[in-house]
Amino acid sequence: MTNDDLRREVNDWLAAHWGGAGSIAQGMWDTNAEMRAWYTKVFEARWSVPSWPVEWFGRNLSDEQTSIVIEAFARVGAPGTGQDRFNLPANTLLALASDALKDALIPGLLKREITTCLLYSEPSAGSDLAGVRTRAERDGDRFIVNGQKVWTSGAATADYGMLIARTDWEVPKHSGLSFFFLPMKQAGVEVRPLRQITGEAHFNEVFFTNAIVPAANLVGGLNQGWRVLQTALAYERSTMGANARKSRHGSADDIIALARAAGRLDDPLLRQDIARVIALRRLNALNNARAKADLEQGTSSSIMSLGKLAMSRILHEEARVRTAIIGVESLLAGETHPTADDVNFLALNAYFTSIGGGTDQIQKNIISERVLGLPKEPELDRNVPFKQVRSG
């Protein structure tokens, strides 16, 4: 199929099927019947993951042709395509799961019938995900899970949790981990919301007390979880490096429009700040395109850390500029002051990007060691059996 043929096909399909957003859920963790119905249409037409193989629900398109499809959907405001670039659980499964698990979960993930959360961080592990202590012990054709996770977004509504857990305490920390898709809606899983400074409660603590995960839901093989985790983190950082949350009311998302509405667009210093932010976003987009071009299915890319760190710094800089644009109005908040509320909401959410997907400090370590080739920091516990590693 030529590029022109593809453009005609996707545009004709959208003209015949897309009637506008309607009541489709728009939130990061939201889903509803209208959204699921639309995503199902996209899936059945094989637009969800256009670059994937035909046998796995795709069209086997090149990166260039996949971009044509994504651009066509974006032009009319239709969601659902490009999941081969951003759907973290589906891409992780395609790369490393058994065919049976792919068949069981990927269609539901692409149709938004199945939702997931990330069960990585723990109170005792800090920023070292290789130091997790949640345990998964084999019991026939299942594993019994006990432990605790924290900062888990969307855990209260998720159907499955992407769980990293320790399955061997006799080997060094990186070698004794396994990766599972754990069913969340069971008696052994307790979710407690954590109230955020924005007033939301997307983050949660999750406690496991003899929770059950089928052995068939193991991804990548027993004690091979660190490799799977690196693949999953690469997709997470790719998404965070390219996107950012929108504001509550939409009044502060476009920084140029915000300056124009405030009568500050002619201010030469603010214009310089705005231009710098726009230039940084454009540079980061080019860097992310480069990183994704190097990212093959089932691999990770250290360059993703550069994009994720850059987006974190961009959001903090945008918060500073937005606050300067509206001035003392930023001291206000609430529904009666939507512009100030949006500016403050985006400023507070900048800290989320500095923490989620690995802190800014972790990204700097990765960049220095794996991109720039600088000496690694000493790891005294790297080759020690994990049961001998001190904690406290």
Q: If we measure between CA atoms, which residue out of 72, 42, 36, 71 comes closest to residue 57?
A: 42
Q: If we measure between CA atoms, which residue out of 150, 271, 139, 268 comes closest to residue 212?
A: 139
- Report the largest interatomic distance among the alpha carbons of the chain, rounded to a whole angstrom: 70
3-state secondary structure string across the chain: CCHHHHHHHHHHHHHHHCCCCCCCCCCCCCCCHHHHHHHHHHHHCCCCCCCCCHHHCCCCCCHHHHHHHHHHHHHHCCCCCCHHHHCHHHHHHHHHCCHHHHHHHHHHHHCCCCCEEEECCCCCCCCCHHHCCCEEEEECCEEEEEEEEECCCCCCCCCEEEEEEECCCCCEHHHCEEEEEEECCCCCEEEEEECCCCCCCCEEEEEEEEEEEEHHHEECCCCCHHHHHHHHHHHHHHHHHHCCCCCCCCCCCCHHHHHHHCCCCCCHHHHHHHHHHHHHHHHHHHHHHHHHHHCCCCCCCCHHHHHHHHHHHHHHHHHHHHHHHHHHHHHCCCCCCHHHHHHHHHHHHHHHHHHCCCCHHHHHHHHHHHHCCCCCCCCCCCCCEHHHCCCC
For residue 193 the two structure tokens come to 């919301």
170 catalytic? Reply is no
Q: Which of 9, 122, 236, 369 is the catalytic position? A: 236
> Residues 196-203: contacts with CB within 8 Å, 24+ apart?
196/348, 197/348, 198/345, 198/348, 198/349, 202/28, 202/29, 202/153, 202/154, 203/150, 203/151, 203/152, 203/153
Active-site residues: which are they? 236
